[in-house]
Amino acid sequence: MKQHLAQISILVKDYDEAIQFYTQKLDFQLLEDTQLSETKRWVKVAPPGAKECCLLLAKAANEQQEKYIGNQTGGRVFLFLHTDDFWRDYDLYTKRAIRFIKQPVKEVYGTVAVFEDLYGNLWDLIEPIK
């Protein structure tokens, strides 16, 4: 049996502002933007070089979903972005006003820092030890 995660859904307030953040601030690639109805789109983004998994930007459809935008994991780190050059990406994100809430540290598994996306979801930026 072979399985893999294809996409992870992340709640957003607005498709276009989320696309702009991920593509212009984090340099993700826009993989798909398909209109499904007047209010719903199928929007997928992924980091450069990603092979299997991407983010599905899901616009909150009601008040219940809106409550969880930016806090889908109860304040814990939600997503883990691996990089082949931590300092390149950290410096670029800092210049682009990405807010780091935990400064870089060397851990047994690699160099890591925690940043917020446009809605407050927490991400680890990690360069794993090879």
pLDDT in tens, 74-111: 999 999 999 999 999 999 999 999 999 999 999 999 99
Same domain, 90 and 43: no
Res. 30 pLDDT band, cuts 50 70 90: very high
3-class DSSP assignment, residue 116:
strand
pLDDT of 130 > 90? The answer is no
Is there a contact between 113 and 100 (Cβ–Cβ < 8 Å)? Answer: yes
Query: What is the C-alpha separation between 82 and 18, in angstroms, rounded?
Result: 20
- Total residue length of the chain: 130
pLDDT of residue 51: 87
- Count: domains in the chain: 2
Same domain, 85 and 39: no
What phi and psi, each to the nearest 5 degrees, are found at residue 67? Answer: -65, -25
Own/partner long-range contacts of 113-116 (Cβ < 8 Å, ≥24 apart): 113/86, 114/77
- The boundaries of the domain holding residue 14 are 1-69
Same domain, 81 and 126: yes
pTM for the structure as a whole: 0.94
Same domain, 28 and 64: yes
Same domain, 85 and 27: no
Tell me which of 20, 38, 69 is where a domain ends. 69
pLDDT of residue 81: 97
Query: What is the C-alpha separation between 9 and 3, in angstroms, rounded?
Result: 18
Q: In the structure encoding, which two tokens stand for residue 21, read together?
A: 């953040």
What phi and psi, each to the nearest 5 degrees, are found at residue 19? Answer: -60, -45
Helices (H), the chain: 15-20, 63-66, 86-95
Same domain, 6 and 53: yes
